[in-house]
Amino acid sequence: MASSAPPKTAKKHHARLNNPFPRAVPAPAILSCDAAPSLSFPPSSKLAHAHDFAVGSRFRLRWDPSLGGEVSLSRVSSGEESRRAMWETVPGVAFLSAASATTKAEECRGSFALRDGRARLVPDRQHVDNIRAFYRCDAEAGADDLLRGAAFQASDATRFPVLVMTGLVTARKAAGASPSCSCCGLRAGRRARSAAAAGTGRPVLSARYWILLEEKSDTQVAFSVKIGDYQWTTCAHADPARPPLPAATATTAARLHHRPSLRLRVSARVHRPTGKKARLAPTRDREEVSALLPSPEKAEEFNRVFLTYASSRDERFFGFGEQFSRMEFKGKRVPVLVQEQGIGRGDQPITFAANLVSYRSGGNWSTTYAPSPFYMTSKMRSLYLEEYDYSIFDLTKPDRVQIQIYSDSVQGRILDGDSPTELLTSYTESTGRPPVLPRWITSGAVVGMQGGTDTVRRVWDQLQEYDVPVSAFWLQDWVGQRKTSIGSQLWWNWEVDDAHYSGWKDLVGDLRSRGIRTMTYCNPCLVPMDQKPNTKRHLFEEAKKLGILVRDEAGEPYLMPNTAFDVAMLDLTNPEAHAWFKNILRGMVDDGVSGWMADFGEGLPLDARLHSGEDPVAAHNRYPELWARVNREFADEWRASQVSSVAETAAPEEKDADDGLVFFVRSGFRESSRWAMLFWEGDQMVSWQANDGIKSSVVGLLSGGLSGFPLNHSDAGGYCTVDLPFLRYRRSEELLLRWMEVNAFTVVFRTHEGNKPASNCQFYSSRRALAHFARCAKIYKAWEFYRARLVGEAAAAGLPVARHLFLHYPSDERVQALTYQQFLVGTEMMVVPVLDKGRSAVTAYFPAGGGAWRHVWTGDEYGGGVGAQGGFEAEVEARVGYPAVFVRAGSPVGERFVSNLRDLRVL
């Protein structure tokens, strides 16, 4: 596939001081003005009357011409009144439009900002002229223009009938001026030539569109939108319902599979759509029509598609991937672009300082490593986009949603379900779910530390003294460390540093003999190693020689600033890069390693040159999935080889039946759970703040769970430390203790020393911290039996281990408004964490209809007797070491959990 030009990208890496208050992104959507494009239809056709059209056997589309025309999609039901619209348009308002716009990108160390320039070719009307259902016989005949225009291809699995809707998007150029968007001042269309202005009629922009609806499963309807080439007509009586004029060159079909980049491209051809019924305007000859068209050197293409549809004022929106500041998004404009989450993300003064010293590195409420173009609502409506293009979900209008897609076509799915759990199960059925984790990773604490062999052995002795259940040591500095301006950082050359970890194999073997695994660290980037004396393999040089690194415009390895040094990135669109990196992982595992952090994946430059030739902006969002995939493929291949080896020895009892590998990632996109085994939330600040501290870790955990990332956790205590004379964010003991209590109820309980270990309180810093770590590890151990069941549910149905209450109490408005205040573990446990400094009590909310909840430490019961008027709220003591944890009264899970706490001498 040939590459199209990337957006013009401005690099902001090297400025010493920057604007601490960068412009907010994204820019307003082009069509978010009050004067919305209108909808029309031929009054003399069958569309003048309401009509139902079948979509497969389970769904139907209803056309209603009243109030200007609207369409709604619903599931077929026995009673007409019981049908609920899964998706519906705003009466009389166009639900499809397009535009052409240039885009500029700003980039700095994994942070990105995309801004649109002047927009052109903005239609102000949508005309619907045909809606038709097609059956298998129609598809097999293969001669229908509508099916060809919609690029439909039938298969044995196709569920007929499929539905095609077609018409025109149009804009009549105002006399002497171009139509424009009143809300953002963006001009739509081209300035008429002076010769055209003296003609018999104003120019009319028109382009044909095709919308295809197809039942994909019992709970999903796929939709695709194609927009053909545009043309300008000049007939004095130009009618939007009339098909476009013919073109002697450039057919629409030739463009259906082409995806223009975000940057406007110059083309030598004039864009004119073709149609079976098209004819030349009788009042103009071919030369007169050409005179009104843009000159070839300025020809443009549609590279934006807008979908606009109805929403109710009280509808709440959840999802959009792993978000850290919000659980609900009504009233917001949500961009879907993978990038660094930022340092502070609006919390002050750290965001101000981060932006000052590194452009946009502070982030904002919407920046995240793992977004997803997916949502579900309180009205049980759900939709997701299937491609990787940059998109913006505009929820700022109370009565509608508008999606702006940076492409010339759209594919997605509309989901059906009567509850959030049904919607989430349907969603993950098509996007993918993680595998069942090996039990060793969830059997005890994962001890994250650094320092070398002697330090690890010393801390190991301390943990044994406190009888801490440990599943693994995670040693991210196995490759060696170097001092940089932001602290101790790793050498990104994925081999063990024998000087830092002398006797590496002995250490790994000794831990394994006690049932403790060893985990390490890697990422898809490499650095030159000429400054490290004991390097055995220079992986950067190897990859450069093989040609498997991302390239810049000159065809050289793209060296990108990352924190304090430059890195090159593996081009994972190249299959050879996959094979090469698997060999790196093989060497790591052959030394006894059982798992690793697969870091980064969010920083692919937007002007990169890739082996596949694909648009780098879409590849940017796809890269985290490619990164997870290469790790997952290796883990699966290794597992298969171990199973084969066991079969050959005929002595399987000698092998560990739970000997799988585990890796965890932070970057992701829609289908990452198909490949990633486990997520972690990246680099939170070591603070109590809401946007990038302990509170944000709970929001990220729960929002990710509502978005198809069911296995997730955070660094206990946070990561980002700042220790400057006038700006200090250092992990206090209280913060560490409270963060441990939260993480004792996530799928993995793992510590991290942070980027400046000496400035932070660590679990081994004091006897109090060690005792508390041991206590939390035992609490985590006590529900291991239930955790294994929930991991199975995640693999089978996509349901998260830690759950927002909305999943099980969706009609409760108080639940809908919750962010980080409390969460469920499965359905049988509820946690109300302390997330504020100096607090020793929390306010717990018990939803109506949920039965009674029993406090783990006191045995007191709450809720249960509440009627239909609402839930029950109570102030509950939660001193350090005794977090507010409840189990469902009478639950066998709760009884066993409490029994295990007694056995472990925690209760």
- Provide the annotated active-site residues: 599, 602, 683
Residue 560, SS3? strand
Kind of pairing between the strands at 371-377 and 317-321: antiparallel
Calculate ∠ Cα 367-445-453, nearest 5°.
95
- The alpha-carbon radius of gyration of the chain (Å, integer) is 29
DSSP 127-178: EEEEEEEE-HHHHHH---HHHHHTT----TT-EEEEEEEEEEEEEEPPTTS-
How far is Cα 627 from Cα 844, in angstroms, rounded to an integer? 40
Q: Which is nearest to 714 in space by CA: 686, 689, 749? A: 749
Strands (DSSP E) contained in 699-851 are 722-724, 727-729, 802-803, 823-825, 829-832, 841-846
Distance of alpha carbon 760 from alpha carbon 756, whole angstroms: 7
Helix (H) or strand (E) holding 287: helix 286-292
Q: Where are the beta strands (DSSP E) in 772-828?
A: 802-803, 823-825
Secondary structure E strands in 547-699: 560-562, 565-569, 595-598, 662-665
Helix (H, G, I), strand (E, B) or coil at 683: coil
Q: Give the helix/strand (H/E) hosting 455.
A: helix 453-465
Cis peptide before 624 (omega within 30 of 0): no
C-alpha span between 114 and 337 (Å, rounded)? 9
- The CA distance from 135 to 144, in Å, is 12
What is the amino acid identity at position 164? V
Q: Cβ atoms within 10 A of the Cβ of 214, count?
A: 24
Phi first, then psi: give them for residue 35, nearest 5 degrees: -80, 80
Length of the chain: 907
